[in-house]
């Protein structure tokens, strides 16, 4: 490694500062455009040693763990340029794919904070009083698998208050197993829902000890690799008019404000239809984030590969007044996309795939006669690929709205509206 001075020109798509040199671009985390910095450089990566000339856009981070912790990339950037950069991520990705459309202003959707988090727990090799191993419980370090121990996280929602203490207590019980642990915690209306992964099979005495910890920390539910250890109450969340009992480890939008913003954009697109919406399909439905709102307007068939998610959705709609009929079907849309002929008579299709996108399903949508398609995505690159397939099939991409529920990160959600 060599110590050198660099001038930061711009922020890259992962949130690192980029300095242009005769040898090529050098990526410097925690820097801003226009800054002169001193770094320790190794090839195209550098570690920041000092900011010699700070940008006027630099602000004080809200978290004392910012820097070593890899959870946030841009707490040091003022809101206005940060929001402009995040919208530009979408604009530039669409332009690279040759897609021309209206891109709305970035919609902030952090709200009260993230309602789910995955903590990592690792033994440090040291020893504490009473023969216990020293634990590090927190988030992965920047560009590292090492765990940065934290005592609080300001971007988490109030509903996750107590989650770190509960995770530490569970990890302390399991650390003698000497395996890395991932502890996923979700804030629900009935309490914390915790799923522990990485421990391997547990002896009955450890299961009993975990159940006791769950009771002490008033967890709604504690599972291990999805297997129930203790449940005091079903972990419930309200979606539209229904209350959904979450399956263990189920997918959920990161913030309540993010879920509400995405759902509102989907429903606004429906409101613009000249004719009424009678029949809808929700592709990659999860537990019903969009299905349960769509059902206020139309008969909905939801498709999702997770059987527990579909079971939770079907259970949630029973007895809810004012909803149109909802049918949930377990189907792997990567292997068995909904065919164009199966969408005959459908007025609107909503798709919200994982990060890898929905290429096979997009091809079937492109061959269909569905008049309105609404795409929700957490990856603009795969969205652009799928959008191109739809456009080649005769759709027009009317607009894209970026949504920022992952504050201080390089992740951006979006909703795109396609019409025939």
pLDDT in tens, 116-161: 999 999 876 655 444 445 578 999 998 788 899 998 999 999 999 9
- pLDDT the model gives residue 173: 87
- pLDDT the model gives residue 131: 42
Q: How far is the C-alpha of 297 from the C-alpha of 275, rounded, in Å?
A: 12
Low-confidence ranges of the chain (pLDDT < 50): 128-132
Q: Which helix (H) or strand (E) segment is 84 a member of?
A: helix 79-96
The length of the chain, given as a count of residues: 420
- pLDDT the model gives residue 273: 76
* Ordered domains of the chain (ranges, CATH): 2-58 (2.40.50.140), 84-110+252-419 (3.40.50.150), 116-237 (2.40.50.1070)
Cβ neighbors of 278 (< 8 A, separation 6 or more) are 298, 299, 347
Q: How far is the C-alpha of 62 from the C-alpha of 39, rounded, in Å?
A: 24
Q: How many CB atoms lie within 10 A of CB 34?
A: 16
> Is 341 labelled as part of a ligand binding site?
no
The pairs formed by 233-239 with CB atoms below 8 angstroms and a separation of 24 or more are 233/190, 233/191, 234/190, 235/186, 235/188, 235/190, 235/191, 235/193, 236/188, 236/189, 236/190, 237/188, 237/189, 238/189, 239/287, 239/288, 239/289, 239/292, 239/293, 239/316
Q: Is 239 helix (H, G, I), strand (E, B) or coil?
A: strand
- pLDDT the model gives residue 178: 62
| Encoded tokens for 116 | 């789910």
Backbone torsions φ then ψ of 131, nearest 5 degrees: 75, 15
pTM of the model: 0.93
Q: Is 235 helix (H, G, I), strand (E, B) or coil?
A: coil
Which CA distances in Å does 181 have to 174, 193, 262, 351, 370?
Answer: 9, 16, 32, 33, 45
- pLDDT the model gives residue 177: 61
> Is 16 labelled as part of a ligand binding site?
no
- pLDDT the model gives residue 130: 46
Pairing assessment for the beta strands 219-224 and 191-197 based on DSSP bridges? parallel
Cβ neighbors of 10 (< 8 A, separation 6 or more) are 17, 18, 33
- Answer for the pair 407, 383: CB distance below 8 angstroms, yes or no: no
> Is 161 labelled as part of a ligand binding site?
no
**Residue among 282, 323, 328, 322 nearest 308 (CA):** 328
> Is 356 labelled as part of a ligand binding site?
no
Q: Which residues are catalytic?
A: 378
Considering Cα of 394, then 396, then 402, then 403, what sign does the dihedral take? negative
Q: What is the dihedral of CA 361, 363, 366, 367, to 10 degrees?
A: -100
């Amino acid at each position: 490694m060599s110590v050198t001075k660099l001038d930061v020109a711009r922020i890259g798509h992962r949130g690192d500062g980029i300095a242009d040199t005769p040898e090529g671009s050098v990526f410097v985390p925690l820097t801003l455009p226009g800054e002169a910095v001193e770094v320790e450089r190794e090839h195209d990566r550098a570690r920041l040693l000092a900011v010699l000339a700070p940008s006027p856009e630099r602000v004080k981070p809200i978290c004392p763990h910012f820097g070593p912790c890899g959870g946030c990339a841009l707490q040091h950037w003022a809101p206005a340029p940060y929001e402009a950069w995040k919208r530009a991520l979408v604009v530039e990705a669409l332009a690279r794919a040759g897609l021309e459309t209206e891109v709305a202003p970035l919609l902030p959707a952090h709200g009260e904070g993230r309602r789910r988090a995955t903590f990592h727990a690792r033994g440090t090799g040291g020893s504490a009083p009473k023969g216990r191993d020293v634990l590090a419980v927190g988030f992965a370090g920047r560009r590292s698998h090492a765990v940065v121990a934290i005592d609080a996280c300001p971007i988490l929602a109030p509903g996750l208050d107590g989650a770190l203490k509960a995770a530490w207590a569970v990890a302390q019980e399991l650390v003698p197993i000497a395996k890395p642990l991932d502890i996923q915690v979700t804030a629900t209306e009935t309490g914390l829902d915790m799923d522990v992964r990485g421990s391997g099979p547990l002896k009955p005495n450890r299961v009993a000890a975990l159940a006791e910890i769950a009771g002490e920390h008033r967890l709604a539910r504690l599972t291990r690799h999805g297997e129930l250890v203790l449940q005091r109450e079903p972990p419930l969340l309200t979606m539209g008019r229904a209350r959904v009992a979450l399956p263990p480890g189920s997918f959920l939008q990161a913030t309540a404000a993010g879920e509400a913003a995405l759902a509102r954009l989907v429903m606004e697109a429906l409101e613009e239809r000249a004719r009424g919406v009678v029949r809808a399909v929700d592709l990659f439905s999860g537990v019903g984030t969009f299905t349960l709102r769509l059902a206020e307007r139309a008969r909905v068939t939801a498709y999702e590969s997770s059987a527990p998610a579909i079971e939770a959705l079907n259970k949630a709609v029973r007895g809810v007044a004012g909803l149109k009929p909802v049918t949930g079907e377990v189907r792997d849309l990567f292997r068995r996309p909904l065919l164009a002929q199966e969408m005959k008579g459908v007025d609107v299709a909503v798709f919200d795939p994982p990060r890898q996108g929905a290429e096979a399903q997009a091809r079937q949508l492109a061959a269909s006669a569905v008049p309105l398609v609404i795409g929700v995505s957490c990856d603009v690159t795969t969205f652009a690929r799928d959008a191109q397939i739809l456009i080649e099939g005769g759709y027009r991409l009317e607009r894209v709205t970026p949504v920022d529920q992952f504050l201080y990160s390089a992740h951006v959600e979006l909703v795109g509206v396609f019409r025939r």
